[in-house]
Amino acid sequence: MRTRWWVLPLAAMVGGILGGAILAPQPAEAVSKEIIELQQQVSQLLQGQQDLSTAFASNTATLKTLTQQSLDSVNNLHGQMGELQKTVQDMQANTGARIDTMAQQTQGISDNLQDLQARTGKLAQQMTDLQNLLQSIDAKVSGGAPSGATAQAEPAGPGGSPAPGAPAAPPISADMLYQNALRDYTSGNYDLSRQEFSDYIKNFPSNDLASNAQFYLGEIAYAQNDFKGAIAAYQTVLTNYPRSFKLAASQLKKGMAELELGKRTTGIRDLLEVLQRFPGSDEARRAAAKLHEIGAPVPTRTPRR
């Protein structure tokens, strides 16, 4: 019992000493070591932050460079697209001008063929009349001519001019007048051609080529940028010559002249009328191309007449 009583106080004393040692302040050397470690950690954190900032700045510069390069590429592509668009527009304009020139030349050739057919028919009729006349003369010669039947020449007036009462010289023929007017038109002598076509319509209103002459009055006005006069001339063809070969061309050029004057609604309406009334024709193809050019809707299928 006495030994146990002595051990207990001794254990309590040892425990107190250990507890005091634990709770007592640490030595200055241990504190300095921890501060040094803490400073090292802070320094590492600062270094890491600096490295991260440097990497971020480098990445930002690289991204800025790439962005600028992309922007330059886009600007360059935009410039190339602009040049390409201008080239396409120039090609369309040149193509349209060549198409108009070819159409004009084709119209002239077509009119020449029509006129040639008419002249051939008249020549055949004249040959028939001449043959009949020769047969009549031959019959008279065979039967014997009466005495004194020799024809006397018509007396001439002073200066070789026909005497009063003598037949007047025949006026220029319809064929000659039309050919002169068409030749002057194709050579660009518009003023003279206008006068000749007007004279043709005035003197030969029922001739088959009167509607052609009226159409060319519109073409002359169109070529001289007189679009109002051109519209009036084309409308006269459409109104007064319902069976003219120039109906499709008049409807087409009337719509194009209206577009030149800024009358978009009526111009589109007349071009669509060409597609509806004359499907499959060259004028219908030109009307569709013009509608595409101005951004107007074009029917995918046009009704047949």
Q: Nearest-CA neighbor of 151 among 171, 164, 137, 165?
A: 137
What DSSP character marks residue 151?
P
Q: Evaluate if residue 197 carries a pLDDT over 70.
A: yes
| Average pLDDT, rounded, for the chain | 78
What is the domain count for the chain? 2
Please check whether residues 71 and 181 belong to one and the same domain.
no
Task: Specify if 298 maps to a domain.
Answer: yes
Task: Specify if 122 maps to a domain.
Answer: no
> Measured between alpha carbons, how far is 218 from 241 in angstroms, rounded to an integer?
14
Other residues' Cβ atoms within 10 Å of the Cβ of residue 36: 10
Tokens of 157: 């007036």
pLDDT tens sequence across 294-304 = 999 988 764 45
Give the pLDDT score at 139.
Answer: 53
Give the pLDDT score at 160.
Answer: 44
Task: Specify if 126 maps to a domain.
Answer: no
Task: Specify if 116 maps to a domain.
Answer: no
Q: Evaluate if residue 151 carries a pLDDT over 50.
A: no
Determine the structural domain holding residue 41 and report its residue range: 37-79
Task: Specify if 137 maps to a domain.
Answer: no
Q: Evaluate if residue 136 carries a pLDDT over 80.
A: no
Task: Specify if 28 maps to a domain.
Answer: no
Task: Specify if 192 maps to a domain.
Answer: yes
pLDDT tens sequence across 208-266 = 899 999 999 999 999 999 999 999 999 999 999 999 999 999 999 999 999 999 999 99
> Measured between alpha carbons, how far is 8 from 14 in angstroms, rounded to an integer?
10
- Would the pTM of this model clear 0.85, i.e. be above it? no
Task: Specify if 270 maps to a domain.
Answer: yes
- What's 235's domain CATH number? 1.25.40.10
How far from each other are the two terminal CA atoms of the chain, in whole angstroms?
139
Please check whether residues 185 and 301 belong to one and the same domain.
yes
- Residue finishing a domain among 26, 49, 79: 79
Please check whether residues 72 and 179 belong to one and the same domain.
no
Convert 134-169 to b/e letters by CB count within 10 Å (16 or more is b): eeeeeeeeeeeeeeeeeeeeeeeeeeeeeeeeeeee
- Residue finishing a domain among 79, 107, 129: 79
3-state secondary structure of 178: helix
